[in-house]
Amino acid sequence: MPARDAAVAFVTDCPDKGVTGIKFEIDDPDARPPSKGEIGLRWIGGSQYAPRQEGVTILRFDGHKSALLMSHIEVVGRRQTGARGAVMKTDFHEIRRLVAQQTYEILWWLRHVQSVGSSSRDSASSSNDGLRTFLDETDGR
């Protein structure tokens, strides 16, 4: 399945079962993923009973030099100086070129999926609670 179709299929399968009448499509069918770039996710977790944790996962796609960069730290105490720098000190894991390319292109196309139609619900909901940041260094968006 082409990466563009996989992105649409993924989003189509995700809405709650109570949401109906929404169709998903690509906003610009003529768009093409860049030949290289980085796409990632920075996250923060924890609770009042558990130490704060932060991490980053970045897919760097550059042909045969593709890699997955990952970090996961635990922040102990109230002072968080140096946490941002520590999070960006990632482990490096090589990825096979075709796996990296397919994953990179699916993630890139996800930004170009838009909804068409309306929902049977009165309001929309989101899992975006401000604790995750999507990183994209492909085309400046």
Determine the straight-line distance between the first and last CA of the chain, rounded to whole angstroms: 26
Q: Break the chain into its structural domains and give their ranges.
A: 3-136
35 vs 2, 28, 32, 74, 101, CA distance in Å?
16, 18, 9, 35, 9
pLDDT in tens, 64-121: 999 999 988 887 766 666 777 777 788 899 999 999 999 999 999 988 888 887 654 4
What is the model's pTM? 0.70
- 63 dihedral zone (left: phi>0; alpha: psi -120 to 50; beta): left
- By the 10 Å C-beta count (0-12 exposed, 13-18 middle, 19+ buried), 117 is classed as exposed
